[in-house]
Structure 1
Amino acid sequence: MGTELDRKKELILGHEQDFAKQVAGEIIDKPQLALWMILIPIFFVFYYFQLKRYRNGLQDFSSNFLVTRQRTLDAVVESVAANKPVNLESVIELSSTPTAVQQQYRAWLDQLAAHFLLLLKAEGDSYEELVRSAHGKKSTYLVELKKLNRVEADFNRSLISHIPGEQDTFKTVIRSMQDCVKKIRHRQAADIFP
């Protein structure tokens, strides 16, 4: 694999990792330290354990949020290196996505792969430069982000009924996550195209 392709992959992956951390930071509530907790040692110990669980939760969320994105990026990089069409079948096979939502999952993967492919073919020394090179202007990039948001939201909504547990809770979490993703992506677009 060429070093230029590796460099671009690392730029994209780094961005996706930062993105996952930002989403996790906004979705997962951080425990608050009250002054009285410092004064009563047992409560401070309790706070410390809550904080540790929060940090582990951030890490777990970020890792899980990245799985499909990283697998898709790897598949796209492989295809570019081999000069072949992107094969997303391996990504689908590695997932535990229920059969009933495979179509929505595939639509998300296709859009994500197209996004990554566009960035890998762009020129630039930073993620921001890759985006500016690939999209040219903010409105074009926002259209791309809107497509990504839509197919990911469609997949998440279709997945809800296949997850055991309280459906209303899952709907609330997924809605919150999608709102957060949109907000962060719009903020990033404003930073990339001031």
Structure 2
Amino acid sequence: MTTLSLEEKQQHIWDSEQELARQLALQVLDKPTPPIWMIFIPIFFVFYAWQLKQYTSGLKSFADHYLISRRRALEATIEAQQRSQPVDIEALLARAESLPDPAKPLYRQWMVLLTDHYAALLTTRGNNHAALVRAGYHSKSNYLLFCNRLTQAEHAFNLALLPQIEGQSEDLRDVTEKMEAEARALRRQESDLIFA
């Protein structure tokens, strides 16, 4: 089996995270669909093209924001691995300076799970992301157990943030629940492929 460098493992992990974020954005954001009559009136089709451009921009923006904490956690894990030290969770928490106080301990728990996951993948042998996951978790049930714990931690963190976000709380909760359900489904699909 090929032994990858830390940087190569990091890239495989990051590519997987980006793909998950892209797939999640596609599931959560509604793609505009033009009415059939629109093709007969060119000005309306231009409006649809504008909506489609906004949708594409929204997909990228969603994925970018979804990945901020994950990128920070992965970078902190890499840095800790390079220095043979534990991940500095407090430094990660400090970088998220705008978090409301009730969300901070939940963010810390989420970051601990995420950095432990990345550390498990970075310290195993494998030549791609799937091989790293198989080596790090040994079984589908172990990996799904981690995914469930991660989803629960993220859910608790999201719930702590909802009161701080402007908007209809019911709508925000619905969007959050849809994101979590879709992320859970995507992780299950991923585990089916990895442990096939």
Same fold judged by TM-score > 0.5? Answer: yes
Q: 2:108 maps to which residue? A: 106
> 1:159, CA displacement in angstroms?
1.2
Structure 1's unaligned 5+ residue stretches are none
Q: Report the Cα distance in structure 2 between the residues aligned to 1:81 and 1:113, rounded to whole angstroms.
A: 14
Q: Report the Cα distance in structure 2 between the residues aligned to 1:42 and 1:64, rounded to whole angstroms.
A: 33
Structure 2's unaligned 5+ residue stretches are none
Q: 1:179 maps to which residue? A: 181
Q: 1:27 maps to which residue? A: 28
Q: 2:91 maps to which residue? A: 90
Q: Report the Cα distance in structure 2 between the residues aligned to 1:89 and 1:48, rounded to whole angstroms.
A: 45
Q: 1:117 maps to which residue? A: 119
Q: 2:130 maps to which residue? A: 128
Q: 1:66 maps to which residue? A: 67
> 1:91, CA displacement in angstroms?
2.0
Moved more, 58-67 or 97-106: 97-106
Give the percent of matched residue pairs that are identical in Structure 1 and Structure 2.
Answer: 35
Q: Does 1:148 align with 2:144?
A: no
Moved more, 175-184 or 32-41: 32-41
> 1:36, CA displacement in angstroms?
1.9
Matched to 1:178, the amino acid is: E
Q: 1:39 maps to which residue? A: 40
| TM-superposition CA deviations, 1:86-122 (whole Å, max 9, x none) | 0122321222211221011111011111111101111
1:167 to 166, 169, 173: 169
Q: 2:7 maps to which residue? A: 6
Matched to 2:33, the amino acid is: Q
Higher relative contact order (CA 8 A, sep 6+): 2
Matched to 2:106, the amino acid is: Q
> 1:34, CA displacement in angstroms?
3.3
Q: Does 1:52 align with 2:53?
A: yes
Query: Normalising by structure 1, what TM-score?
Result: 0.96
Q: 1:76 maps to which residue? A: 77
Moved more, 55-64 or 163-172: 163-172
Query: Normalising by structure 2, what TM-score?
Result: 0.95
Query: How many residues are paired up?
Result: 192
